[in-house]
Amino acid sequence: MNSKKIYLASPLGFTSEGETYRTRIRVQLMEVGFVVLDPWESGAQFEQETKDIFAVDSTLARQAALNKLALKIGRSNIAMIDQADHVLAVLDGTEPDSGTVSELGYAVGRGKRVYGLRTDVRESGDFPGMPINLQVLTFIITSGGCLFRRIQDMTRNQFNGENIG
């Protein structure tokens, strides 16, 4: 059986509490049948390099090394998006995370179906009643995806009835 891969775009690795939320999302996606490509899990390969860079005394040398590392991480994320069949973007917050939205836009440009997850009850759209920016929502919908408002709404049927795995 060839399971579909979904890239989990999110800012949830920046906080310790985000891990719990990310785990709930990953579990739900795996229950639906996806193989989850999570950049925060693969980012562990960069942990030692990051620690080593922050131990550098010279500000200029540290900044140059961080710039090189940022490109490495970004290219790793691009490779995972390219491997994925779909992308799920976590869009919570007063304004969705710019990195997450960039990953969403890249995926749409590559012809991937993109889904959004926004459990945040606050509106951040351009018009009253819109949960997110109209362009972000348009990219999701025109890619063939949809916007989920709760983790438990992400069911096999909601992923357009695809044969996921």
For the stretch 104-113, pLDDT in tens is 999 999 999 9
Distance CA 76, CA 49 (A): 15
Distance CA 40, CA 97 (A): 15
pLDDT tens-digit readout, 89-127: 999 998 999 999 999 999 999 999 999 999 999 988 888
- Give percent of the chain above pLDDT 90: 76
Lay out the sheet containing 113-117: strands in order across.
35-37, 5-9, 86-90, 113-117, 147-148
Confidence of residue 16 (pLDDT cuts 50, 70, 90): confident
In this predicted structure, the answer to whether residue 82 has a pLDDT above a threshold of 60 is yes
- CATH number corresponding to 5-153: 3.40.50.450
Distance CA 142, CA 105 (A): 12
In this predicted structure, the answer to whether residue 38 has a pLDDT above a threshold of 90 is yes
Helix 59-83 and helix 47-54, axial crossing angle in degrees, nearest 10: 160
| 115 CB neighbour count, 10 Å cutoff | 23
The residue extents of the domains of the chain are 5-153
- Per the listing, tokens 């304004």 go with 95
Q: Are 4 and 165 in contact (CB under 8 A)?
A: yes
Helix 98-109 and helix 134-142, axial crossing angle in degrees, nearest 10: 30
pTM: 0.91
In this predicted structure, the answer to whether residue 71 has a pLDDT above a threshold of 80 is yes
- 44 is written with which tokens? 């562990």
Confidence of residue 161 (pLDDT cuts 50, 70, 90): low
